[in-house]
Structure 1
Amino acid sequence: MKDNQAAKVLLTTCSECKPEEKILFVTDPTSYEVAKIMWEATEAYPNRTLVMMNERTMHGEDPTDSVAAAMRAADVIFGCTKFSLFHSQARKDAVANGARFVNMADYSVEMMYAGGLYADFAEARETCARIAAVEDGAKTLEITCENGSHFTCSIEGRKPFPQYGRSIEKGVSSSPPDVECATCAVEGTGYGVVYIDGSIPHPRLGLIHDEIKLTIEGSKIVKIEGGEQAEIFADVMKSFNDENVYNVGEIGIGLNPMCQLNGRMLEDEGCGGTVHFGCGDNVGFGGNVSCPVHIDLIFKNPTLKVDDTLVLECGKVMV
Structure 2
Amino acid sequence: MSNHTGSLMTGPLDHLRRPFTRNVTKGQRVLVISDFEHDPRVWQAIMTILADLGAEASLSLFDRRPADYYDPPSGVCEAMMASDLNVLVSSTGMLHCDANLKAMGAGIPAFCLDGGMTLEMLQSGGITESMKDIAIRKHFVSKNVFGENPQTCRVTSRFGTDFTYSVADRITKPPMPSDDFDEYRIVDFAKDENRPGNKLLYYLFPTGEFNVAPVEYSASGKLVIDLTIHHIGRLYSPIEFTVEDGRIVRIDGGAEARILRDHLDRWGDENAYLCPAEASIGINSKAVIRGNQREDKNIWGTMHFGLGTNVDVGGSIMSSIHMDGVILEPTLYVDGEKRIEDGRFLVPVEPS
Specify the TM-score bucket, using the shorter chain as the normaliser.
0.7 to 0.9
| Corresponding residue SS for 2:154 | strand
Query: What CA deviation, in whole Å up to 9, does each residue of 1:185-219 have, x standing for no partner?
Result: 222221122221101121xx211121222222211
Name the structure 1 match of 2:265. 238
Name the structure 2 match of 1:82. 91
- Please tell me whether the aligned partners of residues 306 and 325 of structure 2 are also in contact (alpha carbons under 8 angstroms): yes
State the alpha-carbon separation in 2 of the partners of residues 274 and 198 from structure 1.
Answer: 10
* Aligned partner of 2:152 among 122, 133, 140: 140
Name the structure 2 match of 1:127. 137
Query: What CA deviation, in whole Å up to 9, does each residue of 1:248-303 have, x standing for no partner?
Result: 12111122222223232321222222111101122333333331111111111112
| Corresponding residue SS for 2:212 | strand
Gap change, CA 1:58 and 1:307, over 3 Å in 2: same
- Please tell me whether the aligned partners of residues 60 and 292 of structure 1 are also in contact (alpha carbons under 8 angstroms): yes
- Please tell me whether the aligned partners of residues 60 and 86 of structure 1 are also in contact (alpha carbons under 8 angstroms): yes
> How far did 1:230 drift?
2.2
1:7 and 2:16 aligned: yes
- What amino acid does structure 1 have at the position aligned with 2:342? C
Matches within 5 A, 1:1-319: 4-12=13-21, 16-19=23-26, 21-31=28-38, 32-55=40-63, 56-105=65-114, 106-133=116-143, 134=146, 137-160=149-172, 168-169=186-187, 172-202=201-231, 205-240=232-267, 242-248=269-275, 249-307=277-335, 310-317=338-345, 318-319=347-348
| Corresponding residue SS for 2:242 | strand
Question: TM-score, length-normalised on structure 2?
Answer: 0.79
- Please tell me whether the aligned partners of residues 170 and 215 of structure 2 are also in contact (alpha carbons under 8 angstroms): yes
| Corresponding residue SS for 1:142 | strand
Query: What CA deviation, in whole Å up to 9, does each residue of 1:152-185 have, x standing for no partner?
Result: 11111324397x9965246622431122112122
Percent pairwise identity: 26
Query: What CA deviation, in whole Å up to 9, does each residue of 1:79-108 have, x standing for no partner?
Result: 111222212333223223333211111111
State the alpha-carbon separation in 1 of the partners of residues 297 and 56 from structure 2.
Answer: 29
Gap change, CA 1:46 and 1:263, over 3 Å in 2: same
State the alpha-carbon separation in 2 of the partners of residues 114 and 141 from structure 1.
Answer: 33
- What amino acid does structure 1 have at the position aligned with 2:221? G
State the alpha-carbon separation in 2 of the partners of residues 123 and 256 from structure 1.
Answer: 9
Query: What CA deviation, in whole Å up to 9, does each residue of 1:229-262 have, x standing for no partner?
Result: 2222222233336332221121111222222232
- What amino acid does structure 2 have at the position aligned with 1:316? R
How many residues get paired?
A: 314
